Amino acid sequence: MPPDELNKHQIEDGNTPLTGDETGGLIPPHLTTRADLNQWEIRNIERAMGWIGGRTLNVLDQAILQELHRRMFDETWKWAGEFRDSDKSISAYHWTEVPRLVRDLLANTQAQYEHGAKIPKALDELAIRFHHEFVRIHPWPNGNGRHSRLATDLLLQSWERPPFSWGNAAHPTKSGEVRARYIAALRAADAGSFDELRRFARA
């Protein structure tokens, strides 16, 4: 994946509430503001992109999926690459369900790929469903949005599909509007209508 693909994986989040444990998992001791942390995370993710180096990774392999999160946040959070061990307001799923839910999602996506039509529309749809369910499970204490957008683009790459545009903004980090559309599209998908998310993903 080229370096200019990077920014769109950094859509500003702001405020997933962290538990005391997770804040305690912050590695750099000197960061004081949210902006400092954002910058630090951007560098960490840039190093992860360097590690990928344009390779095609099989993110339906759970070890690789976890390694991707670890590489994106290994210099930021002690728990990088490890599933959450507390509940999140964003996810309806209890944290103890996460390992099974992720395993099932990966296996189901692989099975649908193998048995489905290998045409662009079908592959994009499968990637949309994968992304939506993955962020619904919300496997990580933090970094779910950034990790799952990158994982989805790598999934598309492994199927020889171009990455999603994710709202088609050059710098979504700066745009509250893009984030609002993204969250609204995820909510609509929660309610069973995926049109907004399809339009958002390939603007």
Ligand X SMILES: Nc1ncnc2c1ncn2[C@@H]1O[C@H](COP(=O)(O)OP(=O)(O)O)[C@@H](O)[C@H]1O
- Work out what residue 90 binds among ligand X, Mg ion, none; the CB cut-off runs from 5 to 8 Å by kind: ligand X
How is residue 152 written in tokens? 């989805």
Closer by beta carbon to Mg ion, 110 or else 173: 173
- Work out what residue 183 binds among ligand X, Mg ion, none; the CB cut-off runs from 5 to 8 Å by kind: ligand X
Question: Please, are residues 148 and 59 in contact by the beta-carbon 8 Å criterion?
Answer: no
Closer by beta carbon to ligand X, 109 or else 142: 142
Region binding Mg ion by CB under 5 A among candidate stretches 6-14, 20-28, 58-66, 117-125: 6-14
Residues that bind ligand X (CB under 6 A): 13, 16, 90, 135, 142-146, 183, 186
How is residue 199 written in tokens? 């339009």
Closer by beta carbon to Mg ion, 16 or else 175: 16
CA angle 103, 106, 112 (to 5 degrees): 135
Closest distance to ligand X from the beta carbon of 114 (Å): 27
* CA distance to 28, 50, 145, 184, per residue, from 31 (Å): 6, 24, 22, 31
Please name the residue that has the structure tokens 């946040």: 73
